[in-house]
Amino acid sequence: MPARAVCPFCGGDDTELHSPFGSALSVVTYWCHRCHTAFERFKREGDAGRGETSAAELRP
């Protein structure tokens, strides 16, 4: 899972991995330092060891 992800609320990239497990085993929790909001992201196969996630990767 990436150490950082783009915040879906403010678009900021000043985020950090808060917990490897969120409300379910299939999600991780990140914390955004810009808008002070926690958010979750689904784990994906191949995420282990990846770097920062780009905004394009998070958009549907």
pLDDT digits (tens, 9 = 90+) for 26-51: 999 999 999 999 999 998 776 654 54
As a whole number, the mean pLDDT across the chain is 82
Amino acid present at 47: D
Sequence spans of domains, the chain: 1-45
- Reduce the DSSP state of residue 31 to 3 states and report it: strand
Sign of the CA dihedral running 43, 24, 29, 36:
positive
CA dist., res. 12 & res. 6, Å (int): 6
**Between residues 35 and 22, which one has the greater pLDDT?**
35
CA gap 6, 15 in Å, rounded: 7
